[in-house]
Amino acid sequence: MRSVVVTGAGSGIGLSTTELLIDAGWHVIAADRDSAALERLQERHGNQETSLTTVALHITDEKAIADLAEKCRNLSAPLEALVNSAGIGSNVRFADTTADQFRRIYDINVVGAFALSQALAPILRENGGGSIVHIASVSGITGNLGRSAYGASKGALITLTKIMAVELADDLIRVNAIAPGPIETPMVKENHTAVTREEWHRTVPMRRYGQPEEIASAIAFLVDGRQSSYVTGQILAVDGGFTAAGLMA
């Protein structure tokens, strides 16, 4: 059995990824700041003790990250992958975004992923290599309205992905990112208005939102070295064709 850390595991993409990887035979260390969500996850998979460990973690807490890294050094199933799914978003125009809002989003979406990756990369190296997958966004690729802070953070994460892939290649650690389009997650349901949804349906060639399970499937491919052993430094847009589209009518 192999182990993988998944952050943001209590809901949305992180939850779907956790459950898919458990079904695929991984031991998942599910980390989230929402203890109640972790309890619900544990209840659903309580009969699979060898497949799930839950850890309360706020991605900006460097002491908690260090504690998690220490836990990962002593796993019976060696750590082979990290999925950085924890993140927050906002739908605020540039002129209305405060510096504090910008810093908070950047701290969670970029610095958190950086710090956890830096803490776990030595363990992956000691275990013979592995895979790191960041959850970016199409908002880090295109200039989506109202995404100045969120889009900038995801753009930074995309660049970080490429740099990490180059620097960690000698350690046999592959680093990739998924750039989801509009996905039916709790964060999206909170931030997308009816007008926003209409606009996504107009600009996504497949004319629908994706499901968290569709992102999880792409993550499962990237963390599995038997399937993606020569894939690193890539940004995989799982977006219903959004980033490929030009004129739609």
First to last CA, the chain: 50
The tokens for 41 are 């996850």
Question: Cα separation of 128 and 146, whole Å?
Answer: 42
Active site residue 106: no
Question: Cα separation of 233 and 224, whole Å?
Answer: 15
Residues 106, 150, 209, 230: which is the catalytic one? 150
Question: Cα separation of 8 and 23, whole Å?
Answer: 18
Question: Cα separation of 175 and 232, whole Å?
Answer: 5
Distance of CA 240 to the CA centre of its chain: 18
Phi-psi category of 211—alpha, beta or left, where left has phi over 0 and alpha has psi -120 to 50?
Answer: beta
DSSP conformation letters of 32-84: ES-HHHHHHHHHHTTT-TTTEEEEE--TT-HHHHHHHHHHHHT-SSPEEEEEE
| Catalytic site positions | 150
